[in-house]
Structure 1
Amino acid sequence: MGYWPAAAGLLGFSWLKLVAPDRTTLPVLRVAAALFALVSVVGSLTMGEREESFVLTDLPHGRSSRSQRSRDARQLSAKSPAGR
């Protein structure tokens, strides 16, 4: 499926925040939160962590970071911005 589910999730979130009528009422927010939780749980069970929209938006930020964590997640070190 690629990144399309995450793109659809970001589009839905943006629409809710910017365009949706009555977006600040409690019933609309309850439905949005329940739908997000349901989609996140089902997506995580079927596709793993890659399904979640906000994880995918943070990937480029993490790759461009000047620090990196070792594979066993015990050390934090600096990396060259020019190399990988």
Structure 2
Amino acid sequence: MSKHQLLMERTAKLVATASEGVVSEAKALQSGVTLTEQGLTSLAYLRLIDSVETEFGVYIDLEEDTGFLQSVEGLVNYMVEQGVSAPSEA
């Protein structure tokens, strides 16, 4: 499995945890439907951001464009741009 795929799967797990299961890992990985449309609430977004910042050591500035937060793919692409390395295992 590629490191990018491992990062996608780990991020999907964080989405599922932040949403308390409302958005499953499988749903989080679907393309074409935003996380908001899948049921991720504003509180769950804050939990997700906190988890991503803590686990991956990136800072997400909520005063900047946050459109990348609408999908796991967008979030992973943002993290890669910030220099995040994929975990060695999911």
More strand by share: 1
Band the TM-score falls in, shorter-chain normalisation:
0.3 to 0.5
Q: TM-score, normalization: structure 1? A: 0.33
Q: TM-score, normalization: structure 2? A: 0.32
Structure showing greater Rg: 1
